[in-house]
Chains A and B, each alone.
Chain A
Amino acid sequence: MNHNRMTRRRFVVSVIALSGAAGSAMAPGLFESSLAWAASPGRIDEDVRRAMVRMARLLYPHDALPDQVYADVLDQALSDVAAGPDFARQLEEANAALAKVSAGAWQELDAAGQAEAMRAVETEPYFAAIRNQVQAGIYNGSAFWKQVGYPGPSKDFGGYLHRGAGEIDWLPEDL
């Protein structure tokens, strides 16, 4: 999965610069660990996991999505038999790096401070790896789709020909 996401990224995004962005205003969420995670091929400490769920949210901060959605994205990547251990190491590297640039107190910073620390490490390989996983997990995920009003696959209901294709009601008529 990881490999294929990366492959797709490589050809979809040939030359795209990272754009700077402001951090989430949400407070860090408290988090319950799950048994599914504990059995994953990729394992990380609970404290690392809490920080990385926070980082995942700050990568793509959608206020309407609960922390569990971001946690599930990480757990899904960690549960990959082939890529899970690598991903665990990347999360640990990110956690250590964020701690380092924040004098050990990244999780105590406000959202703006946390995002600023992330920007300081955004060119690191582990950062790109985590960003790609979270991006794919969130935007290929039903939680985001539901929130934004995107129904996902349409083949099974016969496409949009009789389900709103071509409908638009705000275009000016003075053309």
Chain B
Amino acid sequence: MTRRYELDDDSVVVVIGSGAGGGTVSNELAQRGIDVVCLEAGNRLSLSDVVNDSAAMDRKMGWHDKRLGAPVWLCKTVGGTTMRWSGVTPRFRDFEFRPRSTYGELGDTSLIDWPLTLEELLPYYDKAEGKMGISGTHGTPPSFETSNFKVLRAGGQRIGYRQITSERSAINSVARDGRPACQQIGFCWAGCAVGAKWSTLYTEIPKAERTDHFELRTGAMALKIEHDANGKVRSVVYADANGAVQEQKARAVCVAGNVVETTRLLHNSRSSLFPEGLGNGSGHLGRNYMRHVMSLTLAIMPGPVNFHRGTRQSGIILDEQRHDDSRGFAGGYIIETAADQPYGIAAMIGGWGREAADFMDQYTHIAGCWITGEDPPQAHNRITFHATERDAYGLPVPVLEYTDHSNSTAMRQHAVRQSESLYESLGAKRLESRPDVGGGCHNMGVARMSDRPADGVTNRWGRLHDIPNLFVSDGSLFPSSAAPNPTLTIVALAIRQAEHIAETMARREL
């Protein structure tokens, strides 16, 4: 069924990573008859490997190679973080593609506008939503209303919110595309046991395989991208599942390893022609690393909520996804339901003693929400590499430097006040808010798109400014984070990029 390509076949596009970006660009290219070799560092799980045990699943699919500095929460498995994500898929709004123009100069940031507009991305949002089965789009109903969502909606209405919806989830609200409807199992973070949640593991990857234009190599860790004397990429060096070093020739390469690995691979591929790393003529590679403003609010409600009965993120409030200076900060945020198993809740709340235990005794009465908000790019938030420390692949250990901007602090304070008053309006008996819970699950920036080569790493198609056949296909492309969870936009950009690659190949420009 699946095609096998020779290492010296230089007609293939090599895609590095099989998650939201890599899995999508692979399938979109293969559907257009373009031969693709996808290198995935992790293993290939099947649905029968998925158990309702977050720690056990983290051992199976988490990325545990050594990293220093700000923690990130990523996956090393076929499907990447689409195995772990919660499936929340709001679109960016128009102003979020023009943050620099909308917010003006924001001190201590490297804010730029996107080199594309909402209008330009709309057709690809639509295609992405059709592909992923986003609830409330393409004729599918909204998602099932969990009790946690009903609390969020009731409280939201009481404090004046109007844009409250259980639409916009990439978890099937009805059986669709050969996958069942959500059964409200409640362990989305541990991987969906029935495949109702969109993951490239059981959508894009097998669809690509059925085209006969695609080969997936698992346990294949990309180490270096090689180029010719003219600066055109010609091959990818990788360690195979047995640890042997291989070199796959390539017509073009798409890098989608999530921000840390994407930065490391481009950095590690530096040469006499590109002494600071591939695509780093501007000095922006690894910089402008963004991870969203987040905070969590949990509330003990007057009656049972039982938020373990269902998806952990089952509805959103979009009223704060706007720019309004009177709130004291630039950009917007989205309020989303949040739920977790008892241990997850205890760990997030922290502390010890009678107060902590009393909170946990009321587990069935907890309602919860968290926010994801725009995190302005800062040049000094960046991914660098340890001077001497090497990991098991012999690669330099990544170091993540990240500090909050004052805009983020102000936004978080506003979000906590709103979240708490939402639950207070319904008679919450106790509130616990925690800043920064979840930091490191949304990762953006580091290879951002820009009109001017001096402002970024990649152009409006995600192609490196200074290398004609090397692309970035993951969230590293984002010039700004906007408020929404990033996956929908990653998928839309990947579809658009694949279309562009196919067109330029047809014109023999690539």
Contacts of B305 in A (CB 8 A): 168
Binary contact track B422-442/A, C-beta < 8 Å → 1, others 0: 000010000000111111110
Q: A139-B343, A161-B182, A170-B303 are in contact. Are A148 and B436 (CB under 8 A)?
A: no
Contacts of A59 in B (CB 8 A): 352-353
Of A13-21, A73-81, A101-109, the one touching chain B: A13-21
Contacts of A153 in B (CB 8 A): 51-53, 187
Binary contact track B336-353/A, C-beta < 8 Å → 1, others 0: 000001111111111111
Q: A59-B352, A148-B363, A160-B186 are in contact. Are A139 and B346 (CB under 8 A)?
A: yes
A12 touches B353 (CB 8 A): no
Contacts of A100 in B (CB 8 A): none
Bound: A139/B72 CA distance, A: 24
A43 to chain B, nearest CB (A): 25
B62 touches A7 (CB 8 A): yes
Contacts of B347 in A (CB 8 A): 8-9, 12-13, 135-136, 139
B407 to chain A, nearest CB (A): 17
A67 to chain B, nearest CB (A): 15
Partner among A140, A151, A166, A172 whose Cβ is within 8 Å of the Cβ of B343 = A140
Bound: A166/B147 CA distance, A: 4
Partner among A21, A149, A150 whose Cβ is within 8 Å of the Cβ of B356 = A21
Total residues of chain A contacting the partner, CB 8 A: 59
B360 touches A171 (CB 8 A): no
Q: Does A154 make an interface contact (CB < 8 A)?
A: yes
B352 touches A164 (CB 8 A): no
A61 to chain B, nearest CB (A): 5
A131-145 interface with B by 8 A CB criterion? 131, 135-136, 138-140, 144-145
A107 to chain B, nearest CB (A): 18
Partner among A22, A135, A138 whose Cβ is within 8 Å of the Cβ of B354 = A22
A40-90 interface with B by 8 A CB criterion? 58-62
Partner among A17, A24, A62 whose Cβ is within 8 Å of the Cβ of B361 = A62
Q: A-side binding surface: helix, strand, loop or mixed?
A: loop
Q: Taking CB as reference atom, which chain B residue is nearest A9?
A: B347
Contacts of B437 in A (CB 8 A): 12-14, 16
B58 touches A8 (CB 8 A): yes
Bound: A167/B151 CA distance, A: 11
A4 touches B55 (CB 8 A): yes
Bound: A92/B85 CA distance, A: 41
List 16 interface pairs A-B (beta carbons < 8 Å), by A numbering.
A8-B347, A12-B438, A13-B434, A14-B439, A14-B440, A18-B352, A115-B354, A139-B341, A139-B345, A139-B347, A148-B342, A149-B364, A150-B308, A159-B183, A160-B183, A165-B184
Q: Which residues of B contact A (CB under 8 A)?
A: 50-55, 58-59, 62, 64, 70-73, 144-147, 150-151, 154, 157-158, 182-187, 193-194, 301-306, 308-310, 341-357, 360-361, 363-364, 426, 434-441
